[in-house]
Amino acid sequence: MLPLIREITIKKRVLNQLQSALNICFSPLYLPREVDKHIPLHRGKNCINTLYISGVVLQRSKFTNMSPQVLATAIASHFSEKSQGEFTIHVVKPGWIHVTVNPTMLAAWLQTVASGGLLNGELEDLGDKGDKEDLGATEELPMPNAQCPMPNAPCPMPHSPFPIQYAHARCCSLLRLAHREGLITLEPEPDNSLLPERIIAPNPLPWLDSDGQLSLVHPAENRLIDKLVQVIDDLYCGSPQQRVNWEKAALDLSEAFGNFWADCRIWGEVKLNCENLAQARLGLIMVTQSVLRLLLQDCLGVEAALEL
């Protein structure tokens, strides 16, 4: 069974692991406070794999007598050992650290959100529970970025809420239909007036194939997952200086969902011959619905319609 992950943001998990490795490699050294407290990390422009890139070694190597390449290799080694297979680490000259999220970690993240992780914040440990203090983990879901106040703080009315509301309503109707047809089980049992909140069966959803690889490999699936990870990273792990256009983020996510729904079928032959794939795609719809609802209600201040 896939565990529910402790951090709702993958970026936070990467930052925690980087900090742990940096504490080991730089502990004897004096670093200016502004350098010591800041770890540069940004997303790679690659929808196929969830990739993070850090130039932290280039930032700090001038305070040592070691080359950036040597330092980056040492940090990558400590990171890999601590991450227990959650990530794949590569060092790229002259000292960039590339962190790719492995399929099992990404599947655990998707399972957490599909199971209501954005609603209740009851996130369990991923891996060794004994490293909670070291990684700075918390048992409660962190408050979102201050740029997106919660709950339901007054926000300017978006110019074009309908595409976002439509995408959310479409997610809800698809999930209710799948529940009625027995492909998934939702909680609470929905009728036409209730909002699907989480998928409770199958548990876990079949995110991975028999080889342990992510079963969602279509380009439209990859793009949608990439957008979902980005939005949650920005919501819960954005810097105070970061200015996010939440309307654009919601519209981009809605567009990615529309492309996914146009290209990736669930019913018909997929349901009959590839039930696992159909269920994984429904899980992706559940994750999308949860994130769209958060954006609509708490960032844009508009209704997350159940049907239109």
| Of 79, 77, 83, 78, the residue nearest 108 (C-alpha) | 83
**Could you tell me which residue, 190 or 232, shows the higher pLDDT?**
232
Whether 199 contacts 236, CB under 8 Å: no
Report the 10 Å Cβ neighbour count for 157: 10
Task: Please determine, for residue 302, whether its predicted confidence score (pLDDT) is greater than 50.
Answer: yes
Taking residue 27's Cβ as centre, other Cβ atoms within 10 Å add up to 7
pLDDT of 67 higher than 80:
yes
What is the rounded average pLDDT of the residues 69-88? 90
Above 80 in pLDDT, residue 289? yes
HSE (CB half, 13 Å, CA atoms) of 99?
Answer: 31
Q: Where are the domains of the chain?
A: 1-141, 143-300
Beta-strand runs (E) in the chain = 42-43, 51-54, 87-92, 96-101, 185-187, 198-201
> Which residues 6+ apart lie within 8 Å of 106 measured at CB?
10, 50, 207, 214, 225
State the Cα torsion 289-294-296-301 to the nearest 10°. 160
Max CA distance (Å), the chain: 66
Instruction: Please report how the helices 10-26 and 68-83 are oriented relative to each other, as an axis angle in degrees rounded to 10.
Output: 120
Q: What fold, for 143-300? A: Isoleucyl-tRNA Synthetase; Domain 1 (1.10.730)
Q: Using 50, 70 and 90 to split pLDDT, how confident is the model at 138? A: very low
CB neighbour class for 29 (10 Å; exposed up to 12, middle 13-18, buried from 19):
exposed
pLDDT tens figures, 224-257? 999 999 999 999 887 766 788 999 999 999 999 9
Q: Is pLDDT above 60 for 102? A: yes
Using DSSP, state whether 89 is helix, strand or coil: strand
Q: Name the β-bridge partners of 52.
A: 43, 99
Mean pLDDT of 178-186: 94
Instruction: Compute the mean pLDDT over every residue in the chain, rounded to the nearest whole number.
Output: 82
Please, which pLDDT band fits residue 196 given cuts at 50, 70 and 90?
A: confident
pTM (predicted TM-score): 0.85
Is residue 283 exposed (0-12), middle (13-18) or buried (19+ Cβ within 10 Å)? buried
Q: Which residues pair with 141 in a beta bridge?
A: none
pLDDT at site 178? 96
CATH number 3.30.1360.70 is the correct assignment for the domain at 1-141: yes
> So what's the pLDDT on residue 105?
94
